[in-house]
Structures are given as C-alpha cells and as structure tokens.
Amino acid sequence: EQTIIDADGISGYAIQNFGDGTTIKDLQLINSQHYGFKVSGASNITLTNILVENSAKTGIDLNGVQAATLTNIEVNNTVGGFGLMIGDSDDIAVDDVATSNNSWGGVTVQSYGRYYAGGCDNIDFLGFFNATDAVPFLIEQDPWVGVYSPITNVDIPDQFNFAVYALRSGPDYKQTAYFETLGDAKIHAEGLATTTSFTYTDIVIYNIEETNYYVIENLSIQTAIDELRLAM
C-alpha cells in the first residue's frame, strides 16, 4: 500500500534534499506545483514502488546522481516536463517504468555539465518499459559554454526500432527520440519540420541498426545521405 502525499500547497520542489544512501518506497505523490522528486548531487539512491501524477514539472528528476536504483516507477500527466529525467548521472538502473501523458516525453537521458560534471554513463533499463507519451524515450545533449558532454553506455529498451535525430536551433540541443514504429517516427519528424514554436535542422529518421534512412516531405534527402555516409 502506498502513502499518498498531496503537494498542492507546496510552491517549491515537492520532495528534495536527498542525502547519500536515501531510500524511498511505497509512495504516491500528486499535484506537485514544481518538480516532483528532485534528486541532486547524491549517490546510492533507491526509489521503489513510486507513483507521481499531475506534477507541474518533471515528475522524477535525477541530476548529478552517482548510482541509483529505481524500481516500479510510474509517472503520469506532467504539465511542463518529462516523466523521468536522468541528467549528468552515472550508474542508474531503472527496473519497470511506466509513463503516460507527460508533455515533454516519457523518459529522457540528458547531458549538460553546468551544475554537475557533464555526461551520463551506464544507464540500464530492465524489466518493462511502457511509455505511451508522444515522445516515449529521448536522449539529449545540451551544450554548456559550447561543449557537449558525452552520453555513453545507455541501454536502449528493446521495443524501440526507429529513431529521429534533430538539432534544435538556438540552444543547439542535440535530440534523438526513439519510437517503436516507423509510422510514429515519421509523425514526430514531420512535427519537428513544420512546427513554428522552435526551429529544427538536420532532421533524419533511421532504424536502430543505422542501416536504413528514411526521407519524408519537408525533410532533406542530402541530410539522410550524409548521415548514412557517417554510419558506414
């Protein structure tokens, strides 16, 4: 049975200030007015049997974390953020995760390097990965003072067969979104190519093996050819 915390009256992060070795389990967090779980600069974190719903920003945010195990995690209906974000963190294991209706996407792994040593390494997804968000899984590199920190050894969940890479101009975010079907990948790419909210360039659709590249209306054939040459 889960303990329920309604964070509707809290203006800041709902749950924060994690010390090394913190364990939280059997908790349902609802109505956070900011981030739900904000775990920063800590190590050996354990979150088990956690449900986050209706959070204003990302439901569970790991930033600068060294070693964490997340088991049976569910995040739904985030208004302005992701379900689960893993940023500039190493040695993270996620065992059974479900996300839905999170505005920016389900699960993301990102590097930045502004607040903590930049880069992510050894990110494992075990058990089931059930994300029904428009963008179920995203890997993103954000530059800090012009430098992109590496993201290495990420275990891409098995059900994802296609990816869409794009550069979001302005902040120059390098984004790779993953999808189960080619149809979903094409829909996402078309949305990036035609949106007026941001400008995306270098958009390319490809299969996980990087053996096939796909071009649709509003995408560049030359970009696909260039990416294929790099993959060979």
| Per-residue confidence (pLDDT) for residue 120, from 0 to 100 | 99
Among residues 127, 156, 185, the one where a domain terminates is 156
The reported pTM is: 0.94
Residue 225: the pLDDT is 60
* 94 Cβ contact partners less than 8 Å away, ≥ 6 residues apart: 70, 71, 73, 84, 107, 123, 124, 125, 126, 129
The predicted pLDDT at position 216 comes to: 86
Q: Are residues 209 and 171 in the same domain?
A: yes
Last residue of a domain, one of 156, 189, 218: 156
Residue type, 33: Q
- Domain boundary at 156, 172, 199, which? 156
* 133 shares its domain with 191: no
The answer to whether residues 168 and 143 touch, using CB atoms and an 8 Å cutoff, is no
Q: Read off the pLDDT of residues 29-60 as tens digits, 9 standing for 90 and up.
A: 999 999 999 999 999 999 999 999 999 999 99
**Which amino acid, residue 195?**
T
**Triad 153, 158, 162: Cα angle to 5°:** 90
Contacts of residues 143-149 at CB distance under 8 Å and 24 or more positions apart, as own/partner, are 143/171, 143/172, 144/112, 144/113, 144/114, 144/118, 147/113, 147/118, 148/111, 148/174, 149/88, 149/111, 149/112, 149/113, 149/118, 149/119
Do 162 and 189 contact (CB within 8 A), yes or no? no
Question: 130 lies in which domain range?
Answer: 1-156
As for how many domains the chain has, the answer is: 2
Among 38, 111, 44, 29, which Cα is nearest to 74's? Answer: 29
**One-letter amino acid identity for 151?**
I
Q: 166 is written with which tokens?
A: 């794009």
Q: Is residue 123 located within the same domain as residue 208?
A: no
Are 115 and 222 contained in the same domain? no
Return the pLDDT at 80. Answer: 98
Contact 82, 102 (CB under 8 A): yes
The pLDDT tens digits for 54-95 are 999 999 999 999 999 999 999 999 999 999 999 999 999 999
Tell me the mean pLDDT in the region 138-161.
Answer: 98
pLDDT at 226: 67
Question: Residue 143: is its pLDDT beyond 60?
Answer: yes
Angle, alpha carbons 81-87-89 (nearest 5°):
150
Q: What is the pLDDT of the chain when averaged over all its residues? A: 95
Amino acid 232: pLDDT: 47
Q: Kindly state whether residues 135 and 214 are assigned to the same domain.
A: no
Q: And the tokens for 58?
A: 């990302």
Place of tokens 């101009």: 169
**Statement to judge: residues 36 and 74 lie in one domain:** yes
Which H helix or E strand runs over 94?
Answer: strand 90-100
